[in-house]
Amino acid sequence: MTDQVKLVLASGSPRRLALLNQAGIEPDLLMPADVDETPERGELPRRLAQRLSEAKGKLVAQRAKDAEMNALVLSADTVVAVGRRILPKPDLEDEAEACLRLLSGRTHRVYTGVCLVDAKGRAHTRLVESRVRFKRLSRDEINDYLACGEWRGKAGGYAIQGIAGSFVVKLVGSYSNVVGLPLSETIGLLSGQGYDVRAGWVERAA
């Protein structure tokens, strides 16, 4: 096993990669984790985000171990909920429409579980919650947003960093959490394991 520690992002999400890049961090590898994201019976939204982030991290950490890689594996999962109701990551337009109608004019919560698995297989976790309120959406706004396709595969059927940002009238908590990776908490996890989170800052300045 090589002594050099590699940072592995257990996600294929361009949003999570962009957020890490924004913080001056470039993962050594991207290894998306394919896990069943179906909620367990009676599972609460915050527990689902925690469970899935850990499952993704541990799965990829095992792959790294099998490849004799000395790795820090970073994983995350984002869940959008109204009360105890967990909203899907829709691939179908009617699912997305149902999400938008439910979110219209009300406050919802966004939970992201973040997990960092160290080279010894130990999982270090954080759970971050943000509250988001949408304006009341007209039928035309919903239809036009559905037509743009930006909702596809996004928790709750929207992407705050895109057009749906114009729907938000109030945000309490971390914006990057709603995008999909709470940066402050992620940086804290990495720093806690000795990862030099500022190494890329000088390169960016140059």
Distance CA 151, CA 147 (A): 9
pLDDT score of 138: 98
What's the mean pLDDT when you consider all of the chain?
95
pLDDT score of 170: 98
77 part of the active site: yes
Q: What is the CATH number of the domain that holds 14?
A: 3.90.950.10
Domain-embedded: residue 191: yes
pLDDT tens-digit profile of 47-70?
999 999 999 999 999 999 999 999
Domain-embedded: residue 64: yes
pLDDT score of 3: 63
First to last CA, the chain: 33
Longest CA–CA span in the chain (Å) reads: 57
Domain-embedded: residue 1: no
pTM of the model as a whole: 0.94
pLDDT tens-digit profile of 79-117?
999 999 999 999 999 999 999 999 999 999 999 999 999
Indicate if the pLDDT at residue 206 is higher than 80.
no
pLDDT tens-digit profile of 170-189?
999 999 999 999 999 999 99
Lookup: tokens for 131: 């509250």
Domain-embedded: residue 24: yes
pLDDT score of 7: 97
In sequence order, the 6+-apart residues with CB closer than 8 A to the CB of 17 are 9, 11, 27, 30
Task: Pick the catalytic residue from 77, 91, 94, 140.
Answer: 77
Parent domain of 124: 6-205
pLDDT score of 116: 98
Domain-embedded: residue 129: yes
Average pLDDT of span 128-152: 98
Domain-embedded: residue 69: yes
**In the chain, how many domains are there?**
1
